[in-house]
Structure 1
Amino acid sequence: MAYTVRPARFDEYDQLPEIERSAAQRFAAQAMPEIAAGEPTDATFIGAVGALGGVFVAATEPDDVPIGFILVGLLDRAAHIYEISVREEHGRRGLGRQLIDEASRFAGAEGVSALTLATFRHIPWNGPFYQRLGFRYLEQAEWTPALFILRQHEIESGLSVDQRAFMRFDTE
């Protein structure tokens, strides 16, 4: 099957939570059922990212149905990846890499030379995957003010932050 990565259309935003739910099912196999059962990204937040950042989808060809997405926006002089999800049945086909490449292009167009994200260290398609793409783990001394705020939000959301990390990819 062929895919294309492109900006999401506003009328596709309501499809993204279902994509995220599908992708989250992989966490159940990692003894993280709370992630698999968690609420997807809020539609209002997706709209805010669309208005001030980038919402990109991976879509099937030729029918152009979104099966993956990435939310990226500016945060403390970097392009921060808020969410990346690919439907489980379309996983492991390079779509995550293509979506991150699109986020990197977004960063360049916005005049920033870094991507950041928060992820689980031990989940193969999280921390280890991003490391293979060139991301590096950030020490707490390297966190920006917004990353501290994001960490507090993760704590308040009940995430197991001892397994979480921030990562950065310098595009230059």
Structure 2
Amino acid sequence: MRAATLADVELLRDIERAADERFREIGRDLVADGEPAPYETVAAAVGRGTAWVEVGDAGAPVAYALADVLDGRAFLEQLSVLPEYGRQGIGAALVDVVAGWALAGGHAELTLTTFADVPWNAPYYRRLGFEVVPEARWSAGLRERHVAESAYFRPWPRIVMARPLR
């Protein structure tokens, strides 16, 4: 595992595209057909030092995670793993790296938004120690993000989750 570089950015976007193809299996072609995180978003995370990759045997990235701070809270922006590298603990290891970054930055929890009912989303994150955050605890930024994602992905429910770090 290593920090992502600007040379990785397009590869990371390709990883997200490939990972999102899995949504076709459950009839969510909108997700599979969507664009990955914009180049500028990924490059900004690289510049902040909040983008990490796992590399395969050939030395090329096979998975990545992006993080940011949203309203003073550590936020897992994106986690994508090439399908052929799935179910090997790579995603969990990347989440642990992001959690370590968040803890080192003084954050008490790591937050994210995800689909409530997709097996490799909310149930996966629950196994990694995340819990659903009640709406009353959402910051303004989390609320804004949830509203935007819920509108875009309607009718598929989105939730906010957090993993305590202390």
> Normalised by the shorter chain, which TM-score bucket?
over 0.9
Note the residue ranges of structure 2 that are not aligned, 5 or more in a row: none
Partner of 2:34: 38
| Paired position in structure 2 for 1:98 | 93
The question of whether the paired residues in 2 share the 8 Å contact of 1:154 and 1:161 is answered with no
The size of the alignment, in residue pairs, is 166
Between the aligned partners of 1:161 and 1:45, the Cα distance in structure 2 is 26
Aligned to 1:18: 14
Q: Which residue of 2 aligns with 1:71?
A: 66
Q: Which 5+ residue runs of structure 1 have no aligned equivalent?
A: none
* 4+ long deviations beyond 3 Å: none
Distance 1:103 1:77 in 2: 15
Among candidates 149, 165, 168, match of residue 159 of structure 2: 165
CA distance in 2, matches of 1:83, 1:167: 13
Q: Distance in 1 between matches of 2:157 and 2:49?
A: 28
AA of the residue aligned to 1:81: L
The answer on whether the counterparts of 2:115 and 2:156 sit within 8 Å (CA) in structure 1 is no
2:56 aligns to what SS in structure 1? strand
1:19-66 deviations in whole A, cap 9, x for unaligned? Answer: 0011001111111111111111100111122223500001113x3210
Quote how far apart the aligned CAs of 1:143 are: 0.5
Q: Secondary structure at the match of 1:36?
A: helix
The alignment's TM-score, normalised by the length of structure 1, stands at 0.91
